[in-house]
Structures are given as structure tokens and as C-alpha cells.
Structure 1
Amino acid sequence: MSSIHFPIEILYNILGRLPVKEIIRFRCVCKAWRDLVIYPNFISTHLNLQTDDSDRCLLQYKAGPRFGGKDFFVAFNARNFAENSNLEVPFSCGTNYFEMVGSVNGLLCLSPSSTLFGRTLYLWNPSIWKLKILSGSCFRRQIEKWQTDFIIGFGFHHRTNDYKIVRIMYLTEIYKREPPRVEIFSLARNSWRKVGNNSWFYTRDMSSTVVVNGCVHWFAFRINDVYSNYILAFDFGSEKFGEITLPNYLHDGDSQSHGYELEVSVAVLRESLALIVSCYKTHLNGCCNIWVMKEYGMVESWGKQYSIPNERIFRCLGIVNNRDLMLDAGDEKGVISYDLDKQDYNKPLVFDEDLDELVTFRESLVLYEEGFRLTPRKDLLVEGGIHLGKRKRSVFELLQQKWL
């Protein structure tokens, strides 16, 4: 049957609701269907139509050396947190394990761990087994000359329908005299470009995928004043940095001023910028407060929306489903979740004690025409179902080892 009998809007509406695996199968129906999956508009339509939470999952990364094998992810159902399956990482980074930069629209961004973090980035779509390696830089000579710390921001810019990575480089030998180096990678352009500096801020987190209003955000402080806390924002559209003043969370009447330790992180809650303040002390109960900026950019719109007491909370792992606050309650209770709508705790979850990273993931066709195609069964690269020869495999291995 020819696709000429179907208006393109109907095709998008029907095929865009199918799982990725079925869409790939239906490419053999006709040439028009075969080419459909490479169109950016169809890829966007498919993402927008995947509104069912049952299609989403949570991924917990497990480093191979710790578990006697290869690196893999454990997939959990995003609604009931039941374990579904394991997802093996079919490539290596030359170090003991990866660091998770983030997950955006079916793309996982990974980086080598420890001191090599940020030098090489891996964009991987496990739904279609496509991998793209970002090993270049606009500042290669400076990186080779100085010891360098990297800060990564990863997100999707809706207005340009583009996936972007901003990388801030702190040359530790000279950063007090010179501004950090900043560059941005655009998947649409497939290249790195230099952008302006970040006004001498240093972020407290190595990476962020907290994107609100087209900007990615980090909890940060000024380099010349470690006690000054702000939210550093980078606008993917204008490619400029800005700062957002924090709410007065240190003097909100809670127990933070009585010797409790604080852990502060930035998050997204129902498309609004949020600040999660975990307050804890050894052998004593803690609390977790969530501040929300109701109008983006308006400092006076900060308000404490949730206060979660009476539990021994050591660490907040983030918010999933726009509702569930994931909490590390220590060895005694492991990982628990708090339903922000019901304002009640759920039963302890099945995540491992050493939970480092937990990201939300859903299937997509993003990266279909980019990078290498991998096979889930072997550590060989394949292209169009045919195994690559030794030369192409050696190129892949060189790209992995470059900058390491």
C-alpha cells in the first residue's frame, strides 16, 4: 500500500504513537515510511505523543568492576518502581566506570569518571543502539597543558529543536587570574563553538540537566566568595549566562541553624525551577524543604511549597513523575519515595544501597542518523546489520582512547 493515500498528518499521528521497536519494523512497508524516521518533525511528534507514564522508566547505573562484570543499567518502572530489566552498556570508556551526565528525551550522556570527567562525552540512545562520541574541543591546547575541571550542562532547546551541551572548563593552575573557558555543542550543527565566560561562578555539581525556560541551571557560588550561593543559568537560545538569587532558606524557622548539615540541589517540579534543601544530622531526624520559583526570573516569587519532616534523610536523589521525591534515608531504610501530592511516604524501594545516579528515561528516535550503530549482543559495532571491519573498529577504539 502506498503512503500517498495517507496525509502526512495522519501518518504522524498513527506511527508517532507506536513504540520505537515497531516503528523500526514498519520502515520496510514503503520508501516513504522508511525515510520517515529521519525527519526531525516526526522524531519530535513521536516524543510529544509519548505521554503515557508506562512508557517511562528509571535507570540506575551500576559500574561493572563493582559487580564483577560489565557496566549496566537497571531499569525500573517509573510508576510502581518495580524492576523490569538490565541494560548492558556495550562500550567502555577506558576508566573503571562512567559518570552519568544526564538523560534527555531518550539520550543518555555519559562521561569517564574521576579526573577524566568531561574530556570525552558519549551520547547513547539505547532504544536504537546508536552512539555518538564527542572527543573534540575548541580549547584542546589549554586542556592538554593544564589540569582541567569540567562542568557540563545538557538539555533540549524547544525553540530550535536542538540538543545542546555546554561545557565550562576551569584551568586549575590559572583560573584565579583568567575566566573559565566555555564552549557549546549543538547536535544540529554537529560541532563545538566558543561562547562567553560565566562571570566567575563555580558550580557545586559537575553536571546538570535541570532545564527551565530554555536555560540549564546549577547550584553555584562565586569563585572569589565560596560562601555566596546562587543559581547559575545558561540560556541555550542566547548562549549567555545569568544568575538567580536564592530564597532565604537558611532563616526560614527550621532547624538548619542548630548544627544541622545542609545539602542543596536544583530541580524541576511541574515545569518550574525548584530548590531542594535537605537538612540532616547523624542519629537525628532530618527534613527536606522544596522551594519553587512560581514566575521564572522573579526572585520574589520563591516560596516554600513543601516541608517533609520526621525522617532520617541523608540525601535527595531528585524528583520523578513530577510527584515522587526520591530520598536516601540511610542504611536502615535504604531508598524511599515521598508522594508530594498525597504528602505521604511510600514503602521502601528495591534500589541498591549504593545508589549513585537515578535518571528518568523514555524511548525515542533521537540520534537515529548520527554516530555509530551498536549491537546489544556483542561488543562489535555494526552498520546496517553488517559488522564493521577491523579498520572501522580501530577508528572507534581510537576515538574512545583520545583525550584519555
Structure 2
Amino acid sequence: MNYLPHDIVLNILGRVLVKSVIRLRCVCKSWDSLITTPSFISAHLNHNNDNKYNGNDYIIHMASWKARRLVSSYRSKSPPKTSICTVAFDRTFDKISDIEIPFDFTSDCTQMVGSCNGLLCLADSNNVIYLWNPSVRKFKKLPHPCLENLNNVTLGFAYCSENNDYKVVRTSHSTSLSPSEIEMYTLSSDSWRQVEISVTTDVWFNEDFLSPIPLLQRTCIASLRGKLAFIGKLAFIGQSSFQYSIWVMTDYGVVEFWNKLFVVPFERLAYWVRFTNYGSLMVGYRSAPFNRQGMKYALIDIETLQEKKDPDIQHPSFIASFMESLVLLDGRNVESY
């Protein structure tokens, strides 16, 4: 291998699976130094992103310890002591493996905030937030937020491609008497800062950005094969049937390029609608009116509009796209397990 040019070695290693790359760190000191550099981690990630949407993508879903305890109690089984994430194939939802979460929360009310480039953001109701990459077996507990005692808090997790950074946004819902308070955590600085935002931003988004789309109820923003998508309940059909309208922005940032792809008829009122990377529609609904045992899920083929299968997902479940990556391998204040 000493006779191979450095750029060829870099090209080869950038195409190797994450678990194999981790093992290759033991080959020599130069490879270990190369693999742990931010430039190599980014190059490896970019190669994986270039091969997205090929039908071999992954999905990850999690039921909190509290939810698993309720389900176990209903089924007369002993409740589990830890939360578990399940990795499955995006296209079929067939399970690949279960991954035990390697850290504890102070509250039973936990959620998966989001997933970006193989990095998961998990949080509980006590403002305890973790970033976790199960592929490299590393996690990071975020410092305590700077804003205290916020009401109706919503968390968001995203990747900023402009500076190759990851951000967690924490915001309170605004009212006429209490304006929104927003703070943002940045991974590169490992710190929170308060963010000022004008109310007109939300007004512009509602009136201009979505203006070509008719008024829809129970709407949500999603991603369909890398494009911005909009889902909403369009109309009632009879007493127990509904229609959901699916729109996609074909030219990002241009409001005139919102195109309606199709309308999905569904026999039950959906409380949760998302797309998988492959393009299937995942719908969550109550199995019966006022059923407290949880939600049922259906996987719908958007080409045939037929229900493909009933995935084996525990309720309540948080579902996100997932991929293997080296993100967090070179992070500061990161714990291994």
C-alpha cells in the first residue's frame, strides 16, 4: 500500500462502508490520522449522499421507554429498562437490527428530534439533549440551554451545508401576549445562543411561500427524494374517508414551481404523514376511535396508491431517515461506548 498515491488511497477509503473504515484505522497511524480528519469525514459523507435514493436506504424508529412500558403493561409483559432504536430498510420497513440507546434520560418523556447524515438528536422533557451516531458508537450530551422555563417548547435539528455544521433549534410557541423565544445550539462552537427573529418571517412563509397551494387542514412539510414536499388533508369523502393532497417544489425557492403530484384517498383520518427516502408514504392513524393503546401505521406506494404493508412499529414511535456516516468521529467532548 505504500506504493499507492495518497489521492488513490483517499478515494478508495472514501467508498468503504463505515464499519470497515473504523477497522481500517488499526492498519497504521497514517490511516488513523487520515480517517479522523474533518476533510475525510466530509468526503466520505458526500460519497454516501451521492448514492442516496437507490432503494437501499435505511429508516430508524424509536419508541420511548415510557411508551414501551405502556405497551408491555397492556400485553402483560415486563417493561424494558432502556429505549431501543430499530433500523429497517426504507423501501420495505423490514427490520435490520435493534440498537440500544447508550445513555439515560432524566425523564420518561423522550423523543427523537431528527436525523441528519447519520447523526441522531434525542431529547427529553427536562431539556436533556444528546447527539448520537450509532455507526461509530459515539454520543455527545449538549450543554444546558441558556433560556429557562420556556412554555410549549419545540425542538428542531438540521445540517447547514454552507459551513458543514449541525444545529439544534429550541423555540417556544408565540402568542399575542408572549412573543416567541428562540435559541440555537451549534456543534462547531458547542454552545447555545439566543436568536432574534421577526414575526414577519412566519407571515411571509404562510402567505407567499405556500400561496399557490389551496388551504389545507392538518398540513405538514416533508421531503420527497430530496425535494421539498407539502402534505395536507384536502377534503372529506363521506363520513369516514379522506383525501390527502401531495405537492412538491420542483425548483427550490421559486413559489411558482409548486406542483401537485397526486391525491391520496385514505379510509381513516391520518394523524401523522411522512415520506421515506424511497418515496413511499408512511401514514399513522388510530386503530379505533379513542383508542389509547396507540397508533397503527401503513406504508403506501405513491405510484399505485395502494397500501403495501402494515409495518411492525411500536407506538408512539418517532421515525426518521437514517444512513451510516463518520460524523462525530472527530468531535470534541464526545463519549465512546
Q: Do the aligned residues in 1 keep the contact of 2:296 with 2:315 (CA within 8 Å)? A: no
1:313: how far off?
4.5
Alignment of 1:331-342 (within 5 A): 331=287, 334-340=296-302, 342=303
Relative to structure 2, which stretch is displaced further, 24-33 or 146-155? 146-155
Alignment of 1:282-321 (within 5 A): 284-321=240-277
Give aligned-pair identity as a percent.
32
What is the CA–CA distance in structure 1 between the aligned matches of 2:31 and 2:261, rounded to whole Å? 47
Q: Do the aligned residues in 1 keep the contact of 2:62 with 2:86 (CA within 8 Å)? A: yes
| Aligned twin of 2:57 | 56
What is the CA–CA distance in structure 2 between the aligned matches of 1:61 and 1:167, rounded to whole Å? 21
What is the CA–CA distance in structure 1 between the aligned matches of 2:118 and 2:314, rounded to whole Å? 26
| Aligned twin of 1:238 | none
Q: In the alignment, is residue 359 of structure 1 matched against residue 320 of structure 2?
A: yes
- With over 3 angstroms needed to count, the CA separation of the structure-2 counterparts of 1:280 and 1:355, relative to structure 1, is farther
Q: In the alignment, is residue 18 of structure 1 matched against residue 16 of structure 2?
A: yes
Amino acid at match of 1:112: D
Q: In the alignment, is residue 167 of structure 1 matched against residue 170 of structure 2?
A: yes
Q: Do the aligned residues in 1 keep the contact of 2:84 with 2:101 (CA within 8 Å)? A: yes
1:89: how far off?
1.0
What is the CA–CA distance in structure 2 between the aligned matches of 1:329 and 1:280, rounded to whole Å? 17
| Aligned twin of 1:131 | 139
| Aligned twin of 1:390 | none
Q: Specify the SS of the correspondent of 1:111.
A: strand
What is the CA–CA distance in structure 2 between the aligned matches of 1:101 and 1:295, rounded to whole Å? 27
| Aligned twin of 1:373 | 335
Alignment of 1:107-118 (within 5 A): 107-113=119-125, 116=126
- With over 3 angstroms needed to count, the CA separation of the structure-2 counterparts of 1:196 and 1:18, relative to structure 1, is same
What is the CA–CA distance in structure 1 between the aligned matches of 2:168 and 2:105, rounded to whole Å? 19
- With over 3 angstroms needed to count, the CA separation of the structure-2 counterparts of 1:356 and 1:299, relative to structure 1, is same
Amino acid at match of 2:156: G
What is the CA–CA distance in structure 2 between the aligned matches of 1:152 and 1:169, rounded to whole Å? 9
- With over 3 angstroms needed to count, the CA separation of the structure-2 counterparts of 1:76 and 1:158, relative to structure 1, is same
Q: Do the aligned residues in 1 keep the contact of 2:118 with 2:323 (CA within 8 Å)? A: yes
What is the CA–CA distance in structure 1 between the aligned matches of 2:307 and 2:16, rounded to whole Å? 32
| Aligned twin of 1:276 | 231
Q: Do the aligned residues in 2 keep the contact of 1:182 with 1:198 (CA within 8 Å)? A: no
What is the CA–CA distance in structure 2 between the aligned matches of 1:97 and 1:177, rounded to whole Å? 28
What is the CA–CA distance in structure 1 between the aligned matches of 2:209 and 2:34, rounded to whole Å? 42
Relative to structure 2, which stretch is displaced further, 11-20 or 23-32? 11-20
Q: Do the aligned residues in 2 keep the contact of 1:230 with 1:246 (CA within 8 Å)? A: yes
Find the partner of 2:221 among 252, 266, 269. 266
| Aligned twin of 2:281 | 325
Q: Specify the SS of the correspondent of 1:60.
A: strand
TM-score under structure 1 normalisation?
0.69
Amino acid at match of 1:63: S
- With over 3 angstroms needed to count, the CA separation of the structure-2 counterparts of 1:29 and 1:181, relative to structure 1, is same
Q: Do the aligned residues in 2 keep the contact of 1:317 with 1:358 (CA within 8 Å)? A: no
Q: Specify the SS of the correspondent of 1:123.
A: strand
TM-score under structure 2 normalisation?
0.82
1:248: how far off?
3.7
Amino acid at match of 2:279: R
Find the partner of 2:91 among 76, 79, 82. 79
| Aligned twin of 1:210 | none
**Which consecutive residues of structure 2, in runs of 5 or more, have no partner in the other structure?**
73-78, 289-294
Find the partner of 1:33 among 8, 31, 34. 31
1:190: how far off?
2.2
Cα RMSD (Å) of the superposition? 2.9
Deviations 1:88-131 (A, max 9, x none): 11211111141111001111101104xx3xx2321011111211
Q: In the alignment, is residue 249 of structure 1 matched against residue 205 of structure 2?
A: no
1:48: how far off?
2.2
Aligned length: 315
What is the CA–CA distance in structure 2 between the aligned matches of 1:12 and 1:18, rounded to whole Å? 10
What is the CA–CA distance in structure 2 between the aligned matches of 1:102 and 1:327, rounded to whole Å? 18
Deviations 1:176-219 (A, max 9, x none): 45643322222222222333224277xxxxxxxxxxxxxxxxxx
Relative to structure 2, which stretch is displaced further, 306-315 or 19-28? 306-315
1:41: how far off?
1.8
Deviations 1:331-373 (A, max 9, x none): 2894222222x33324222323624321111111101122333
Q: Do the aligned residues in 2 keep the contact of 1:60 with 1:74 (CA within 8 Å)? A: yes
